[in-house]
Chains A and B, each alone.
Chain A
Amino acid sequence: GENVEQHPSTLSVQEGDSAVIKCTYSDSASNYFPWYKQELGKRPQLIIDIRSNVGEKKDQRIAVTLNKTAKHFSLHITETQPEDSAVYFCAASPGGANSKLTFGKGITLSVRP
């Protein structure tokens, strides 16, 4: 089955700096890669997603890049703010975006004011 790994497990950055979170996946059949943000005690919220036919997608301060050959994808957050502090999960799915998502273990991002 699919295996998704996230690195690092924790990340601390200064407010205003950029943060990059990397994920690798194992199943070449995976073609949908969402990123979720989960604040303490709250539900995971989709922040950005990318499909395998696209190499990069950007939404304001957030971007995701995908390298299908190397089987890794990354979340880039620019101009970080304290409210970006949360746990970020990457996931991969073989098709049918809501179907059978395999999640990484999550990364705790702390943005220092």
Chain B
Amino acid sequence: KAGVTQTPRYLIKTRGQQVTLSCSPISGHRSVSWYQQTPGQGLQFLFEYFSETQRNKGNFPGRFSGRQFSNSRSEMNVSTLELGDSALYLCASSLDLGPGFFGPGTRLTVL
């Protein structure tokens, strides 16, 4: 099976802009979670989608949002970008109640 894929791999944006990241899970996986990874804060949970519904949400501001499509592909959107949003954004897919498999991540740089 193909692994989890994320696009784009790298992004450079300026403050105030918005960005959309995409994640394609492993075939058959219906759960997609998103994480932010930074050197200071480590890996932090953003949200999880299962069968097109947000099932869990972390402690991030409302500027961070996501959605999941009927084919389980997921997108996350960050509006009004801040310098502190620079990070590696990782998604992980799983079967329900199964272990998560991470994608390669999208490296977002906000200037």
Interface residues of A (CB under 8 A from B): 1, 34, 36, 42-46, 49, 89, 91, 95-106
B56 touches A46 (CB 8 A): no
Q: How large is the interface on B (under 10, 10 to 19, 20 to 34, 35 or more residues)?
A: 20 to 34
Contact with A along B73-111 (1 / 0, CB 8 A): 000000000000000001011101111111111000000
Partner of B43, one of A44, A45, A95, A100: A44
Give the residues in chain B near A102, CB-CB below 8 Å. Answer: 45
Main secondary structure of the interface of B (DSSP, over half): strand
- Measured CA separation A110–B15 after assembly (Å): 38
Cα of A1 to Cα of B58 in the assembled complex, Å = 10
The 6 closest A-B pairs by CB, nearest first: A98-B94, A103-B43, A98-B100, A100-B56, A43-B102, A98-B31
Measured in the bound complex, the distance between the Cα atoms of B43 and A98 in whole Å is: 14
- CB within 8 Å for A43 and B100 given contacts A1-B59, A98-B93, A99-B48: no
Instruction: Show the binding face of B for A, using Cβ within 8 Å.
Output: 31, 33, 35, 42-45, 48, 50, 55-56, 58-59, 90, 92-94, 96-105
Of A91, A100, A105, the contact of B48 (CB 8 Å cutoff): A100
Q: Can you give 6 A-B contacts (C-beta < 8 A)? A: A49-B99, A98-B31, A98-B97, A99-B33, A100-B33, A102-B45
Taking CB atoms, residues of chain B closer than 8 Å to A96 are 31, 48, 50, 55-56, 96-97
